[in-house]
Each structure stands twice: as structure tokens, then as C-alpha cells.
Amino acid sequence: MDDHLVGVLCNIGIISFVALSAYVLLLAGEVSFGQQAFFAMGAYAAGMATAVLRWPLAPALLVGALIGALTAAIVGRATLRLTGLYFAMATLAFAEMLRIAFELFVWQVDVDGSLVGPKGTDGFGDIRYLFENEITPAQYMAGVYVLLALVLAGFAAIDRSRFGRMLRQAGADPLLAELQGVSVVRVRLVAAAAAGALAGLGGGLYAHLLTYVEPGNFNIMLGVHSLAYGLIGGLGTVLGPVLGVLIDIGLLESSRLFEGYRMIVFGGLVAVLLIVRPRGLLDERAVHWISSCVKGLAGALAARRLDRSLRRR
């Protein structure tokens, strides 16, 4: 695999985390414009942990995820009473406040004779853990996808659990859920914290891949993109947001097919796609169709196997 491809794949995997983060809140019935905030928290926290405090990567990523979760829980407490556009605006306001705070945040420390750490608007460079520890891009990519697979498996597990059911109830009809004894605010708070952790983890991975981040990376563009991925890929399955990222970054940004007017093509494509499929490519109906096809196929295979074994007897 060439380096360009590895880079692109890494990017797709990492951006999937923040897309999934927005998707979790969509499941809970809230639209967030601000998941980039927790992505930024994770990026700065994990970056500082390895570059300034000289921690190993794993605990640094963990701290990034925890800080993302913690921040999201605190913000969630203040805002989850709100719904719809009000919640979306509150999350955006927080994310922009945080971005500007990072523009003002300087914490530089002398590490082996050179100054390392966040430097306000000039960004935060020299997050060189991968180089220093001779982790190749391919190895890093493998790590990213193992984590992503774990997260997707976690989604599948939660989907079948009691919490998953409460989450769907709270998202579909909060009033009804409340009447059935589901504490909607509490469910949403847990969902927000989990979404914060996902974004934080993604942020940590992002900072180490790029070795340099700046507050401008975490603006409203990233927030709305994360939300859009779910809607493009489809809201019917957890693979929807990942598909959305794949289409945008994999097909359009990286192929250089429409260089110079990629956004015009991408924007038009998304707008038309939403007219044809308002809930994305993999919407509930598509997922149902695919799963019934798979079940049908599995059923046919099982029947054949049964048939064969019977015949053998």
C-alpha cells in the first residue's frame, strides 16, 4: 500500500469517530453541531500527554477519551433540557467558545531543549510520538481500525441491550418514553458522554496522525460535516456514518477527480441524494431489505446444509 492510500484510510477511520459521535446523539433524538469540541479536547489532551508529559500513547488516548466524555457530560447537563434547534445552537456555541479558548491557550514546556505544547492561534505542533517510537503509518492504520471495529461491535452490543432500547425510545418519542418510565434526560446524558468519549478518542488519534493541530481544524465545518455523514450514509445503521465518511473523504477528497470544484460536485450530490433518500443511503428500509436478504440467503444456505446432511443419512 502506498503512503497516500494509508493516509487516506487513516483519515477515514479517524473522522468516522466524530461522525459516529454525532450519530449517537441523533439516535437519542438530539442534533448536535458541536461534536468537534470534544474531538478538539481529545486532540489537545492526548497530544499534550505524549508530547509534553511524555506518556505512552495508550494512556494518552484513554485520557483524551475520558476528557471528551467529561466535557460532554458537563455541557450536556447544561443543555440537554433543550431540544431541536436550541440544542444544536447551544452545542455550536460551546464548540466555538472552546475553539476560541484554544486560540488563546498557550502552554509551552521545554522538552529536550525545544519548546513543545499548544501555542494559541499558531497551533500545537511536534506531536511526534509515532516517529519517536517508530510506528509505521500502516501499523497506526491497523490500530485505528481495530479501535473502530471495537466501537462498532460495542454499538451492536448496546443496540440489543436495555439501554439501547431506552435510547431508541428517547429518540423516537421522548414524551412516550417518559410515560413508560424512561428518564429521557438521563439517557441522553449517558449518550452525550459516550458521544464525547468517541469524539475524544478520535481527536487523540487525529492529533498523533497529523503531528500538528490548530484551533481552526475544529470549527463549525467539522461539526456540520460530522452530522452530515450520518445523513448521507444513512440513519438506519451504525455503518451509515462510516459510509458517509468513505464517500466524502475516500471518493471525493482523495480521488482528485473533481479538483477545483469538488465542493460544487459534493454539495450538489448531497442535496440531490437527500431529495431521493431523505434519511440517507442506508436508511431503515434499506437496512431492513439488506438484512432480510442476508437472512434469506443464510436461511437458504442452512436449508441446503440440512438437506445435504439429511440426504447423507
Partner 1 sequence: MIDLIQNTLDGAMIGSSYALLALGFTLIFGTMRRLNLAYGPTIMAGAYLGTYAALRLGIGAVPVALLVVAGAALAGLYVERLCFRPFGEGAAITSMISSFAVWMQIEEAATLVLPQHLNAFPPLVAGAPITLGPFFFRLDHLLMLVVAAAAAALVHGVLHHTRFGLGVRTVIDHKRAAELVGVPVMRTLTLAFVLACAIGGLAGFLIAASEAQITPMFGMWATTKGLIAMMLGGLGSLPGAIVGGLALGVIEAHAQWLFGPLVRDLIAWGLLFAVLAFFPGGLLGAREAGQAAALQRRV
Q: Which residues bind partner 1 (CB under 8 A)?
A: 26, 31, 78-79, 82-86, 88-90, 92-94, 96-97, 100-101, 103-104, 220-221, 224, 227-228, 231, 260-264, 266-272, 274-275, 278-279
Give the whole-angstrom CA distance, residue 239 versus residue 235: 9
Name the CA dihedral angle for 209, 210, 215, 217, rounded to a multiple of 10 degrees. Answer: -90
Residue with Cβ nearer partner 1 (129 or 266): 266
Residue with Cβ nearer partner 1 (50 or 79): 79
Q: Report, in Å, the least distance between residue 120 CB and partner 1.
A: 9
Q: Report, in Å, the least distance between residue 12 CB and partner 1.
A: 19
Residue with Cβ nearer partner 1 (143 or 241): 241
Q: Is 204 helix (H, G, I), strand (E, B) or coil?
A: helix
Residue with Cβ nearer partner 1 (113 or 260): 260
Q: Report, in Å, the least distance between residue 121 CB and partner 1.
A: 8
Give the whole-angstrom CA distance, residue 93 versus residue 79: 11
State the burial class of residue 108 (Cβ atoms within 10 Å of its Cβ: 0-12, 13-18, 19+). middle
Opening angle at CA 17, ends 13 and 21, nearest 5: 160
Residue with Cβ nearer partner 1 (78 or 251): 78
Q: Which amino acid is it at 102? A: F
**Cell of residue 278, nine digits:** 431523505
- Identify whether the C-beta of residue 245 lies closer than 8 Å to the C-beta of residue 233: yes
Q: Report, in Å, the least distance between residue 190 CB and partner 1.
A: 20
Give the whole-angstrom CA distance, residue 273 versus residue 269: 6
Residue with Cβ nearer partner 1 (8 or 224): 224
Which residue shows C-alpha cell 441522553? 188
